[in-house]
């Protein structure tokens, strides 16, 4: 999937491209609050991002397909965000935005809203009927962002690392 918006290019992250890896390392390291809330490591190295981007199936959920995207600013080519989409077997027809992260110093500039609108348009126009997100309990700004984007709480759950949070959903209209 390749999506272009006015300011952004959302493209599949290439785990063999050194510039992409270096850009994602800088991105991940610019968001320590997210990693604290999620229980992930606070400092990311190139090898960590290479492993994250590897296409290894998750043994707990073998039917899931995970796709990681680098979000580049069109004017500069700089990576300013990332998105991970997870889709279960097609009959379930529910896609998850498993991760969306914006460069720490670029948050609040509307990039997240632009990314979400583009992803929603792409998924809903290709037949998906619902999108879900998981928001960690200790991330008030993330919860405000997703509810502001029209996502409604449907229940509580634990993340893959065992941290509590809220599942939110947005149906296709």
pLDDT (0 to 100) of residue 75? 96
pLDDT (0 to 100) of residue 94? 83
Over the stretch 72-127, which tens digit does the pLDDT of each residue have?
A: 999 999 999 999 988 765 556 788 898 899 999 999 999 999 999 999 999 999 88
**pLDDT over threshold 60, residue 130:** yes
Q: How confident is the model at residue 34 (pLDDT cuts 50, 70, 90)?
A: confident
pLDDT (0 to 100) of residue 89? 57
pLDDT (0 to 100) of residue 65? 74
**Domain count along the chain:** 1
Q: Which residue has the higher pLDDT, 110 or 43?
A: 110
Query: d(Cα 89, Cα 12) in Å, to the nearest integer?
Result: 20
The answer to whether residues 21 and 50 touch, using CB atoms and an 8 Å cutoff, is yes
pTM here?
Answer: 0.88
The answer to whether residues 85 and 131 touch, using CB atoms and an 8 Å cutoff, is no
Query: d(Cα 84, Cα 79) in Å, to the nearest integer?
Result: 14
Average pLDDT for 51-80: 80
Find the domain containing 65 and state its range. 2-171
pLDDT (0 to 100) of residue 105? 93
pLDDT (0 to 100) of residue 25? 94
Chain centroid to CA 140: 17
DSSP letters spanning the chain: -EEE-SSEEEEE--TT-HHHHHHHHHHHHT-HHHHHHHT--SS--HHHHHHHHS-PPPTT-TT-EEEEEEEEETTT--EEEEEEEEE--GGG-EEEEEEEEE-GGGTTSSHHHHHHHHHHHHHHHTT--EEEEEEETT-HHHHHHHHHTT-EEEEEEE-TTS-EEEEEEEE--
Q: Which residue has the higher pLDDT, 1 or 102?
A: 102
Q: Which residue has the higher pLDDT, 172 or 159?
A: 172
Maximum Cα–Cα distance across the chain: 41
- CATH number at 116 reads 3.40.630.30
Angle formed at CA 146 by CA 143 and CA 151, multiple of 5 degrees: 115
């Amino acid at each position: 999937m390749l999506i272009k918006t006015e300011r952004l290019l959302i493209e599949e992250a290439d785990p063999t491209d050194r510039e992409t890896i270096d850009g994602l390392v800088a991105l991940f390291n610019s968001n320590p609050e997210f990693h604290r809330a999620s229980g992930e490591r606070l400092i990311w190295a190139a090898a960590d991002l290479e492993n994250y981007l590897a296409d290894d199936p998750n043994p707990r959920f073998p039917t899931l397909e995970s796709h990681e995207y680098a979000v580049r600013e069109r004017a500069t080519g700089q990576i300013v965000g990332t998105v991970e989409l997870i889709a279960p077997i097609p009959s379930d027809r529910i896609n998850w935005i498993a991760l969306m992260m914006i460069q720490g110093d670029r948050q609040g500039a509307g990039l997240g809203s632009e990314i979400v609108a583009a992803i929603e348009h792409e998924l809903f126009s290709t037949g998906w009927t619902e999108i879900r997100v998981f928001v960690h309990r200790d991330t008030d700004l993330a919860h405000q962002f997703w509810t502001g984007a029209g996502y409604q709480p449907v229940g509580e759950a634990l993340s893959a690392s065992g941290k509590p949070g809220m599942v939110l959903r947005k149906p296709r209209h």
